[in-house]
Every structure is written in C-alpha cells, then in structure tokens.
Structure 1
Amino acid sequence: MNIDHLKIFINLTETLNFSQTAKTMNISQSAVSQAIKSIENELGFDLFKRTKRQVNLTKGGEAFSKRMTIMLSNFDKAVIDSREISQRERSALTIGTTGTTFEAHLLPLIIKDFRLNYPDVKIYLEYFSHNQLKQHLLNQECDLIFTTIDDIQAEKAFNFTPLVTGYFCALVPKTNPLSRQPRLTLSDFGHQNLILLNDDWCPPQQLKLQTTIKATCTTLETTYVDNVAVANTMVEAGLGITVMPNFINCSSKNLFTAIPLDYHATLAYGTATLIPTPTTTTARFIKQLAAFDGWSK
C-alpha cells in the first residue's frame, strides 16, 4: 500500500474536506480522490461516506484510521532514527568517558580544535562506568573510549593508544594536616576518612590499591562513591581524602593538595579502539589527541 496515499488518507480524516486536504498536501483535489479510491480498492470497502454537503468516516474507515495513525507515526520515527544512525556511521564520532575532571577539562579544548579542521563531523559523548564503556566499544556503540591500560590489557579485541603516564597520589583537603606532607605512605591513612570508588568504577590497579590500603589501615573509615567527579567534590568539601592517578585530576587545587603515594604502580592513560584499524574519523581524532600539548598541564 502506498505510504503517500496513506498520509493523504490520515490528513483527510482530520479535515473531512477534500479541498482542504489537497491544499494542505499541496496536490490537486483529484489526486486526493484517486489516493482514497486506490486504498479503498485494495481494502475492499469504503473509507468515507460522501454527500454533497459533508464527508464522514465509515465504521471501517474509523478503525483503519486509528491503526494507520499509529503505523505512520512509527514509520516516521523509524525513518528519522535510521537516518540518524546512517549519518552517525558516515560522519560522526562517539566518544566514551567516565566523567573524570581530567576529561571534563581537556576534552572541550581538544574537540574544539578538532572541529576547526573537521566541521562536518558530528561528535557524541557518552558517560558510563569503565566496564560499561568497554561493552559499548565491543558492541560498536561507540568509536573510542578513554581508559587506563590496566583496564583493557586483557582484552585482545582492543588497541590502546597511550597519551600520558603517571603515578598514584592522594587528594588531601588543605585543612587536613597530611596536606603538608611531601609524600604519603599507606599507613598514613589510619583514622582518616578515605573516599573510594565502587568496584564497577575501579580499574584493576585502582582496585588493587584500595584493597591494599584497607588491609594496611584497620582504623580506616571509608566512603564509597560512583565516580571520580563525586570523589573530587567531597575532597574539595573537606569530607575526606581520595586516591587516584595524578593525571586524572584537573580540578582547581585551591582546596586540596595532590600528594604522591609511596606505592609503586605503572600507570598509563589513553584511548582504546577496536581492532582492526578504526575509521578514518576516529584515527584523525586520535592523531589530534596525541598531538595535544596540554596533557602534562
């Protein structure tokens, strides 16, 4: 059945006026009549009762109208959604982040520069836990994710591009006496409130550090949060201390001090993409990431 004919039919059910529907649809009145007649021939029953003075739906026409209104609405949505997916596949970049202050600070600068060179590329950002991001990448729901090497090194399907390396540090409120120390050991956290990440938001090295701290300090108080941004906010509010890679934090340091930990771990932060080679747009974005000169600032 012709979709355009069905759209004419639905409009006519609203106007109940052949002349008005012709004007609305920008077609001739005879084209409206032909469309309705074509549908009626396929259905085998009349859709309208027509007299010289008025047009009304038949009972069959009412029932058909209700179903077709829903069907055409779903059809239009399907077209829009499919067109959007097609556009994203051709000229878009979907980036997965965990919402760290590091990403929040640097990504706008990098994306702004990228758009200067590639203004037609649509960029989408998604925000999930690191485990969810890995699954989205595997499902090809995003093109690249920001992550740490320890989080994806066991995944043979991923390729990692390092951007910055670093070490674990503690973010200590400046009101806390520990903020004056040049370096902290894990035992220094005794009797402190430590703000830790929930397991689903913890890459392996972070989880290992948190477990080691809890085993070392039996007098430790702990508060668990769902993401790094919340941990940062709580530290800035003086509610406790948190630990994280030094490169993850880009918040204002007016309210806390970042102090290196006496704890050895090899840390690297960058992007992960699916193997084989990523799309041209993704490769261009990664190249711009690597050339960005603000990683160590």
Structure 2
Amino acid sequence: MELRHLRYFLALAERLNFTQAAAQVHVTQSTLSHQISQLEDELGQRLFDRSDRRVTITAAGELFLTKAINALAEIDNGIALMNTLNKDLSGELRIGTTPTLNMEVVPRCIAQFTEDHPSVHILVEEETGDELISGLRAQRLDLVLAYRPLVLEGIVFEPLYTEEMILVVGERHAFARRRRVRMAELHRRELVLPPRKFTTRQQIDEAFTAVGAQPFVVIEMVSLAAILALVEQTALAAIVSRSAWRGRDGLYAIPLEAPTMTRMPGLIWVDGQPRAPAVAAFASIVRGVAKSSARDHLEWSRGKSAPNPRS
C-alpha cells in the first residue's frame, strides 16, 4: 500500500464519482479506477460498489475511511513539521535531565542546537527521574533526557545507549591502581554517594545488598561535580556513571564487577503527546550525540583492563 492509494481512496469516498475524484487528485479516470482496484486487492475487501449510474462506499470502506483519514492527517502533520525545521525556529524549549547527563551529554546537545537555532530560548531543569516525569506529565517540560524509569505507564522511553557504573577514586585511595574492584570489596569502605531519592543511589544500594556488603556512606551530595572534586581531594570513593567521570585528571576510574552495574539513558515522552518542531530538532541532535557516547563507552570497555584506565 502506498500513500497515493490512500489519497485516491479519500478523494473517491468524498466525491463518490470517478470523474470528479480523478480531477481532484489530477489523474485520469482510468488511472484512479486502476489504483482503487489495486488497493482493494491488497486489502482483500471491496471498498466501493460500482454501477453505471453511481458509486457507493461499502461497509468495509466506511470502516477503513476513518483510519485512512487519521493516517493521512498524521503524515501531513509530520511533513509540515519537517518543513518547519528548514526555517528559523523560535520560542522556548524546556528540557528536563538528571545531574549525570547534565555534566556532558546535555551541554553537547545544547551547543549543537543553539548553533543551528539561536533564536530558541532554552530552559534546563535538573531533578530526579520521578520529578522530571511529573514535570513532563504536567506539561512543564517539553522532553526529558534521563535514565530508564522503573514504571513506564503512560510514557514512552526511547533508549539511547548503555553505560557502566564505575568506582572513582583519587591518588590517595588504596584502590587507585587496581584493575577492577568487586562490589563486596567495598564493604565498610567510606563512600560519597547521591541521596537515596535518586534512582542511581537506589541501584547502588541494591547491588550492595545483593552481595551482603555495607559500605560507610559518610557524605551524600547531589552535585556530581562536587562529588568528584571531593573524591580527588580526599581518600573517599564514589560510584558514578562513566560519562560523569569522563577522563578527569587526578581521578582513577575502576571497573566494578560481581555485579556489574549498567544504566540506560534515553528520551522520555508522554505517550501520544504531539512534538513541536524545536522538540523534534533537539531530539534528533540527542540521538546523534548518543551514538558518539556509545562509541566512546565501547572503546573504554575494550581497554578497561589497564591498571589506570584514564584518558
């Protein structure tokens, strides 16, 4: 089935006259008749009853008509949105994201977006995943870039890539030159972690529970930049996504195992919610940056057996 079949079908359903419908879609009457017959053969149903004097739509045609109208409306809206991307976008774009993704991924995306669309005013809200989804449902945010939520009811999660959680330590830490660390080895070790309201912290706690380990969480902080700065200046350790570390000088990134923890960032949408041109344009950039991040993570994973896997 092709797009023209639907357009020809709607024209004939509206006019119920082959001559008038053919003129409406700018084809010959014989071409229109042939295309309608092709559509009927593909569907296995007669859509119109034909006689010498008149054309009537069948019951099957009536059922198909509503769906065809909706399908063409969606396609036409999509074409209109794509056409607007070639024009100067303006207005406001409200982005929700998590502290980790706001360290590298989101700034990279915004830098590319503002170069192409300098007239769009951007607002970035940094919160927990649950709070971001609440903002999305309340239409306070246009799109959310966050880790996969536990509950997907009423929302759509578009996965981008997968990255590991790693142990980050400074020069003074006993594990600074370890090739890898098992989660159980962090029992009674001093850590700085995000608060429990973040899903990252919940995942870390579950991993410790699974191996029967109880570390000393001596400090809880929201800011990942502050966490990394504190680790660099003390003998504390932290568990963060690899993108948060990003080869920072003065810090050692050590793979964790038994278990290995991974996180999946993605775009989050309200199911069925229309997307404005600016939102669609930003999402396209996010997908491109995500491919680059996925390649970086793969390269790091291949070389992570090195004693000091820093760039």
TM range (shorter): 0.5 to 0.7
Tell me what 1:275 maps to. Answer: 271
Whether the 8 Å contact between 1:201 and 1:226 is mirrored in structure 2 is no
Q: Do structure 1's residue 185 and structure 2's residue 182 form an aligned pair?
A: yes
Q: Is the 8 A contact 1:165 1:247 kept in 2?
A: no
Q: 1:78 matched to which residue of 2?
A: none
Q: 1:189 to 1:153 in 2, by over 3 A?
A: closer
With the length of structure 1 as denominator, give the TM-score of the two structures. Answer: 0.61
Letter aligned with residue 154 of structure 1: V
Q: Does 1:168 align with 2:168?
A: no
**1:157 aligned onto 2:164:** no
Aligned to 1:213: 208
Shift of 1:228: 4.7
Corresponding position of 2:130: 131
Q: Which residue of 2 aligns with 1:54?
A: none
The one-letter amino acid of 1:120's match is: S
Q: Using a 3 Å threshold, how does the CA distance of structure 1 residues 117 and 208 change in structure 2: closer, same or farther?
A: closer
Structure-2 residue corresponding to 1:44: none
How far off its partner does 1:111 sit? 1.3
1:231 paired with 2:230, answer no
Query: What's the RMSD between the two structures over aligned residues?
Result: 2.3
Cα deviation for residue 174 of structure 1 reads 2.2
Q: Given residue 222 of structure 1, which amino acid in structure 2 is its aligned partner? A: V
Question: What residue in structure 1 maps to residue 250 of structure 2?
Answer: 255
> In the alignment, is the contact (CA less than 8 A) between 2:156 and 2:269 conserved in 1?
yes
Shift of 1:193: 0.5
| Residues 194 and 146 of structure 1, relative CA distance in 2, 3 Å threshold | same
Counterpart of 1:223 in 2: which secondary structure?
Answer: strand
> Offset of 1:134 from its aligned partner?
1.8
Conserved? CA contact 1:95–1:126, under 8 Å: yes
Equivalent residue, structure 2, for 1:291: 288
- Secondary structure in 2 matching 1:200: coil
Q: Which amino acid is the alignment partner of residue 145 of structure 2? A: F
CA contact (8 A) 1:171 1:256 kept: yes
* 2:208 partner amino acid: I
Q: Which amino acid aligns with 1:166?
A: E
The answer (yes or no) to whether the contact 2:104–2:243 under 8 Å persists in 1 is no
For 2:94, the equivalent position in structure 1 comes to 94
Native 8 Å contact 1:172 1:178 kept in 2: yes
Q: Report the CA distance between 1:231 and its aligned residue.
A: 2.3
Partner of 2:217: 222
Q: Deviations over 1:151-174 (max 9, x none)?
A: x24122222222221122111112
Of all paired residues, the percent bearing the same amino acid is: 18
Question: Which residue of 2 is the match for residue 108 of structure 1?
Answer: 107
SS of the residue 2:218 aligns to: strand
In the alignment, the residues of structure 2 paired with residue 284 and residue 275 of structure 1 have an alpha-carbon distance, to the nearest angstrom, of 19
For the residues of structure 2 that align with 1:115 and 1:221, how far apart are their CA atoms?
43
CA shift for structure 1 position 267: 2.4
Q: Is the 8 A contact 2:192 2:221 kept in 1?
A: no
Kindly state the Cα deviation for residue 225 of structure 1 after the two structures are TM-superposed: 1.7
> How many angstroms does 1:94 deviate by?
0.4
Contact kept? 1:99, 1:127, Cα under 8 Å: yes
